[in-house]
Structure formats: structure tokens, C-alpha cells
């Protein structure tokens, strides 16, 4: 190998190292060797051995707590019998309001938003909503939030309004060229706009997205909806709701359902909306 090639390889390796440690590509990668999702994040203190599968549901079996089970849905779920879901134990629904096109940037209403909201409310379920974002800057994130707020008029939304941020998986997406740090900035802009109108705001993301893209410490003032499929959450980061499968099966839905669980304290009050209380056993006191 000639000297020029050796120098080229050295420069390439050093470039990768510099990106890992000094750019905003990810704040969490530097901590993965510790076995924790994030060394300096606010921690939960859940006992992983307390998780139980109860039929279609996951429950947290620990004295002083009970589990609140729900689904999240979009037009892709088709026809839903909300009373059938309620009768099987579903207590809440998180319903997609809309989305922004990854390529054209157009904001669109979910075709079944109003139908699902009306059905879930008629069945007596608690409701929250989410927006599937493709915002490329703060202004677009605020625009998405205002779109959601407009569509919520007349509905009783007792659970948070979530900013859903994910990878498009396409190099043609408008978001493909975004700096990683922009995703957290956009999430905060969305949440701040939502809460300015009196709603509780939150952020949905996968385990990988929270570890490698979002700065979760910058989002700790908001409800954290965490997606990781399996029999335990598998994280030490503090979260508020866990999406544990995308293949839930219940009567009343012809296809698979995304299933979620919130953990409820039997006594106490909530830092969010007077139902769910996270004591020091859950998260660090500074949370």
C-alpha cells in the first residue's frame, strides 16, 4: 500500500471519528458502550420483571399501580368497532389527525380522523391524537401544530397531542438532508405551539430514534411515547407511554392494531393531566 493511500485511509477514519464525537449526528452514540440508552438522560425506575402479558395486553404488575391499555390508529386500520374494542379492555385511543407529504410537503387530513374521533368518543374512550410530521424547520412544525389545533375544535382530548417523527426511508424525502439536531428543534416547536393552546403535548418515536436522533433531555417537559416491540420496554430512559406491538389482534378490527400501555398510580396526581402519577420510583426526582 503506497503512502498516499495510507494517508487517504487515515483521513477517512479520522473524519468518521470527528463526526461521531463533535457533530450533531447523535448525542447518544457515545454512551452505548455503557449498556444504557443515554448516560445523562432522566431515568425511569421501572422493575422490568413486573411486566406481564395478559392476553392481548401488556400490564405492569406491581402493588400500587395499574395499566391503562389503548390503541393508536390511522386510516390504514379501516373499519373499527369502537364498542367491541372497549368491551375487550381498550380504554383509550390515539388517533392520527393527519400527515405532511415527505416529497411534496403538503399537509393532509387523515381520511378517517373525524369518523374515528366520533366513534371513540361515543364508546366512552379517552382520546389523544398524533400528527405524522415531515417538517424541515420550526416554521413548518408550528404550521403542523396549528393544523392539528384547528381540527380538534369540538372534541374533548384528554390525552396528549403527539408529534410523530420517523425516518422516511427514502432519499427523495424533503427530510433526507436535514441535520439530525433539527428533528429535536422541530419537535419542541410543535409541542410549544400545542401547549400554548392549552393541550398537553408529546413526542412519539422508536427506541432507535430516541437513541440516535432526538435529544430526549430537551424533550423531557413533554409526554414521551416510546415504541419498542417485545415483552419489556428494554430502556432505562423515562417514558410516559409504551407502544409494545404493531400486531395486536382484537375483535372489532379486521387487521393488526398498534397496542399501547400507560402505567397508572392508584393514588396521587399527575404532572400531565391529573390521571397518571409518576413518583420517584419511576423517574428521577428532577424530572
pLDDT tens for 46-62 read 888 999 999 999 999 88
From 35, 33, 30, select the one nearest 18 (Cα to Cα). Answer: 30
Q: Is 281 left (phi over 0), alpha (psi -120 to 50) or beta?
A: alpha
Beta strands in 64-167 (DSSP E): 65-73, 92-100, 107-109, 126-132, 161-164
Region of poorest pLDDT, from 53-62, 83-92, 235-244, 258-267: 258-267
Q: How far apart are the first and last CA of the chain?
A: 54
The full length of the chain comes to 287
Task: Please state whether beta strands 92-100 and 126-132 pair in parallel, antiparallel, or not at all (unpaired).
Answer: parallel
What is the band of 239 on the pLDDT scale with cuts at 50, 70, 90?
confident
From 260, 267, 266, select the one nearest 89 (Cα to Cα). Answer: 260
CA 217/CA 187 separation, integer angstroms:
12
CA 137/CA 146 separation, integer angstroms:
15
Residue pair 69/260 in contact by the 8 Å Cβ criterion: yes
Average pLDDT over residues 128-132: 98
Any idea what the Cα angle at residue 259 is, between residues 44 and 187, rounded to 5°? 60
Residue ranges of domains in the chain, CATH in brackets: 1-35 (no CATH), 40-265 (3.20.20.80)
CA 223/CA 45 separation, integer angstroms:
17
Check residue 62 and give its pLDDT. Answer: 87
Q: Which helix (H) or strand (E) holds 184?
A: helix 180-196
How do residues 141-186 score in pLDDT, each as one tens digit? 999 999 999 999 999 999 999 999 988 888 888 988 899 999 999 9
Q: Report the sign of the C-alpha dihedral through residues 135, 140, 146, 150, in that order.
A: negative
CA 188/CA 186 separation, integer angstroms:
5
Residue pair 109/272 in contact by the 8 Å Cβ criterion: no
CA 164/CA 186 separation, integer angstroms:
11
Residue pair 204/184 in contact by the 8 Å Cβ criterion: no
More confident residue, 262 or 283: 262
Amino acid at each position: 500500500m503506497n503512502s498516499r493511500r495510507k494517508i487517504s485511509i487515515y483521513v477517512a477514519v479520522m473524519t468518521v471519528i470527528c463526526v461521531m464525537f463533535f457533530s450533531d449526528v447523535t448525542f447518544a452514540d457515545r454512551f452505548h458502550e455503557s449498556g444504557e440508552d443515554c448516560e445523562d438522560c432522566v431515568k425511569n425506575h421501572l422493575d422490568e420483571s413486573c411486566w406481564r402479558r395478559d392476553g392481548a395486553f401488556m400490564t405492569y404488575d406491581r402493588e400500587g399501580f395499574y395499566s391503562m391499555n389503548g390503541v393508536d390508529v390511522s386510516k390504514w386500520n379501516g373499519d373499527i368497532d369502537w364498542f367491541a374494542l372497549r368491551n375487550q379492555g381498550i380504554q383509550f385511543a390515539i388517533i392520527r389527525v393527519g400527515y405532511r407529504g415527505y416529497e411534496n410537503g403538503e399537509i393532509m387530513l387523515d381520511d378517517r380522523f373525524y369518523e374515528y374521533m366520533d366513534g371513540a368518543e361515543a364508546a366512552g374512550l379517552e382520546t389523544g391524537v398524533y400528527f405524522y410530521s415531515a417538517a424541515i424547520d420550526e416554521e413548518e412544525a408550528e404550521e403542523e401544530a396549528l393544523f392539528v389545533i384547528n381540527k380538534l375544535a369540538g372534541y374533548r382530548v384528554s390525552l396528549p397531542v403527539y408529534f410523530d417523527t420517523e425516518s422516511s426511508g427514502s432519499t427523495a424525502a424533503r427530510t433526507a438532508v436535514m441535520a439530525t439536531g433539527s428533528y429535536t428543534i422541530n419537535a419542541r416547536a410543535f409541542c410549544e405551539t400545542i401547549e400554548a393552546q392549552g393541550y398537553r403535548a408529546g413526542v412519539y418515536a422508536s427506541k432507535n430514534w430516541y437513541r440516535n436522533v432526538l435529544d430526549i433531555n430537551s424533550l423531557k417537559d413533554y409526554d414521551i411515547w416510546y415504541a419498542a416491540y417485545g415483552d419489556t420496554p428494554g430502556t432505562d430512559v423515562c417514558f410516559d407511554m409504551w407502544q409494545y406491538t404493531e400486531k395486536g389482534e382484537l375483535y372489532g378490527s379486521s387487521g393488526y392494531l398498534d397496542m399501547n400501555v400507560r402505567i397508572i398510580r392508584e393514588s396521587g396526581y399527575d404532572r400531565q393531566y391529573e390521571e397518571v402519577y409518576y413518583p420517584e420510583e419511576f423517574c428521577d426526582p428532577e424530572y
